[in-house]
Structure 1
Amino acid sequence: MPRLAVTSLLLSHFRSHLRTELFFDGRPVAIWGPNGAGKTNVLEAVSLLSPGRGLRRAAPEELARRPEAVGWKLKAGIESLHQNHEVETFAEPGAARSVMIDGKPAPQAALGRILRMLWLVPSMDRLWIEGADGRRRFLDRMTLSFEPGHAEAVLTYEKAMRERNRLLKDAVRDARWYGALEAQMAEAGAAIIANRAAAVARVAAAQEGAGAAFPAADLAILAPEGEEAPATAEALAEAFAAGRGRDMAAGRTLTGPHRADLGATYAAKGVPAGQASTGEQKALLISLVLANARALAEDFGAPPILLLDEVAAHLDAGRRGALYDEICALGAQAVMAGTGAELFEALGSRAQGFEVMEESGLSIVIGRSIP
């Protein structure tokens, strides 16, 4: 059966890990230990095998172990649809992150062609009740999992928008200065909008196969209240041109996909996700991640790697068991972290176990059987 899996992982001078080498056999991975021991650092290392800044959105210089500050390096063996790859990513002091695939320099976007990855971390627990920025990032990570080229469209759009915003703040009125930038924004923006809509449709369809343990969510991509949401390149270009006066007064671009929000409703109750209980909000998030994984398994040919940090601690025994059963049925390699081995008891021999301890400021990882 085709699969996506990290088969080996080396962390060198990464966060609290001076040198940690792990070997995985494709089963789900349970990592436990006290807070601050370095569990999440392992999940973050795995997340950096995908495009972007990882699950903590950290800058390269933040990842280097202190006090050495000699830079950091990650090296991983990857199995992707019956092909084996070696991936390295690293950053020297003061330098941007570099990527090598099979010994050759590669752009970060190339990582998305061999690995698909989803994650759920504690900071996302407030997704439905905080600002739209976090929901847009969640939406774009979902979209990127289906379409690796989405990252390039977002970067192109944001770069052109920064230049346009600079013109607006400087009160530049010459239309010729805006034309080329707005054309770039319109083309990239239309791609962003189409990619997001396709991803939401795929996840919505995959939720139909969800079990009773995790509630389905009705999703919608929303524009700010009272504002238009042009979707085609032509309509976006017209909106940018027509909005220059208003945008100049605001000092920023007020129309476009950077203003979108992701709305979710607890389908069975008809309640907006932000008004659901804390437990229901968590269950909705898990449901979306699992639906995303099911859809990816169909589209890509293998389920994605799942990174789940402290997810089990907030679930009762029934939902915890249901989550593990879903992961195993999907055939996904999930890397999960928690404070105690008892949180993973329902997995038993279906998963590999690792205990993380701190000794003299170093993270030590030891293979263990799950009790």
Structure 2
Amino acid sequence: MLSRLVLTDYRNHAATTIAAAPGFVVLAGDNGAGKTNVLEAVSLLAPGRGLRRAALPAIARSDGPGGFGVAATLVSGDEVATGTLAAAPERRIVRINGATATANALAERLSILWLTPAMDRLFVEPASERRRFLDRLVLALAPGHAHHAARYEAAMRQRNRLLADDVPADPTWLAALEAAMAEHGAAIVAARRGAVDALNERLADAPGGFARAGLAIDGGEDDDLARRLGEGRRRDAAAGRTLAGPHRSDLIVTHLDKAQAAAISSTGEQKALLFGIVLAHAALVADRTGRPPVLLLDEVAAHLDPQRRTALFDVLSGVGQVWMTGTEPALFAGLPADAVQLRVDGGEIVAL
């Protein structure tokens, strides 16, 4: 969990400090007050570009010095560590207990998953969005997944540039890049498959109240990827991109109780499916790693009646640290008494 979060020159937060606690952390305030900015800052402690996928320069406070900082005190059992993320202005710098670390190092100490209103259309968006969602699930179970994904993408970008060049590329160099893609691609496929299999076991016994999801991976798996890439150079050069590999796969979600694709389920059913996946994943991460993930839930209670909100809070209790946002404090009236409830107003934080 995060026991303390400090934002410096982060979007509309000039200098914000939040003392958190196990369980619920609630951020209430008007639209545009800076609630989601706090969740985004936490999400950047995980590998990747955070819940908004924003470029680093866009995150820095508009009238600030040009960079920004996020510092978090992490508590796991008896271990306490300080993780910091800084951008100055376009380079991501990570430190753990003051020592410079790799961009993915915090994933070994902290698992983070989020749901935002923008994800409501996950099942009807392009496959790339579902792959990104799946990879976040995988990363919480296998932190090394980020390494393999980064190496795979780097090799693929180099291969694509060579194939697009007017000068014929060195076949030996192409073969080396394709071998690297095959090696890291196999690790990506294995990690994804393992996560999906484990989640399906959890989802089969999911508690009532949420639609049960079934997960499958479509495409992208190839036992001889290096050979296929070698044979497909002319095709890929003409297409301007690589047409084989795990970057072409899709996460297929089925509403098990109706035996129908999530993409054709109702909006409410899609939300329930997505939430059920996140809850199953949180329980799985807690069992596998001994440390529940931090859940970031943006505006999840906004459209629920009081009875359903209470049911939601009951389900979330005990799954780890849960950060939630909403426009009205009344939305969170059913939370336990020890929940941290804060008001956000123009980048300022006050206790409710």
Q: Give deviations 1:180-212, integer Å, cap 9, x for gaps.
A: 010000001001100100111121112234211
| Residue of structure 2 equivalent to 1:43 | 39
Aligned to 1:128, the other structure's residue is in SS state helix
Q: 1:77 aligns with which of 60, 69, 73?
A: 73
Which is further off, 135-144 or 198-207? 198-207
Contact 1:17-1:38 at 8 Å conserved across structures: yes
Q: 1:101 aligns with which of 89, 96, 99?
A: 96
Residue 350 of structure 1 and its aligned partner are, at CA, apart by 4.4
Residue 245 of structure 1 and its aligned partner are, at CA, apart by 2.5
| Residue of structure 1 equivalent to 2:203 | 207
| Residue of structure 1 equivalent to 2:222 | 231
Contact 2:111-2:293 at 8 Å conserved across structures: yes
Q: 2:164 aligns with which of 151, 163, 169?
A: 169
Distance 2:170 2:47 in 1: 37
Residue 175 of structure 1 and its aligned partner are, at CA, apart by 2.8
| TM-score, scaled relative to structure 2 | 0.96
Distance 1:81 1:115 in 2: 12
Q: 1:114 aligns with which of 91, 109, 114?
A: 109
Contact 1:279-1:314 at 8 Å conserved across structures: no
| Residue of structure 2 equivalent to 1:156 | 151
| Residue of structure 1 equivalent to 2:281 | 292
Distance 1:294 1:13 in 2: 35
| TM-score, scaled relative to structure 1 | 0.91
Please say if 1:312 is aligned against 2:296.
no
Q: Give deviations 1:98-151, integer Å, cap 9, x for gaps.
A: 011011111122101111111111111110011111111001111111111111
| Residue of structure 2 equivalent to 1:364 | 348
Please say if 1:333 is aligned against 2:317.
no
Q: 1:354 aligns with which of 326, 342, 351?
A: 342
Amino acid at match of 1:346: G
Contact 2:211-2:255 at 8 Å conserved across structures: yes
Distance 2:211 2:183 in 1: 36
Which is further off, 339-348 or 314-323? 314-323
| Residue of structure 1 equivalent to 2:11 | 15
Q: 2:138 aligns with which of 131, 137, 143?
A: 143
RMSD, aligned CA: 1.5
Q: 1:26 aligns with which of 6, 14, 22?
A: 22
Amino acid at match of 1:106: A
Amino acid at match of 1:19: A
Q: Alpha carbons of 1:41 and 1:150: their partners in 2 closer, same or farther (altered >3 Å)?
A: same
| Residue of structure 1 equivalent to 2:181 | 185
Distance 1:175 1:319 in 2: 60
Q: How many equivalent pairs are there?
A: 351
Aligned to 2:124, the other structure's residue is in SS state coil
Contact 2:189-2:221 at 8 Å conserved across structures: no
Distance 1:46 1:312 in 2: 20
Contact 2:155-2:181 at 8 Å conserved across structures: yes
Q: Any stretches of 5+ residues in structure 1 without a counterpart?
A: 224-228
Contact 1:230-1:239 at 8 Å conserved across structures: no
Aligned to 1:108, the other structure's residue is in SS state coil
Residue 253 of structure 1 and its aligned partner are, at CA, apart by 0.9
After the TM superposition, which residues 194-273 of structure 1 pair with which residues of structure 2 at under 5 Å, given as runs?
194-223=190-219, 229-232=220-223, 235-273=224-262
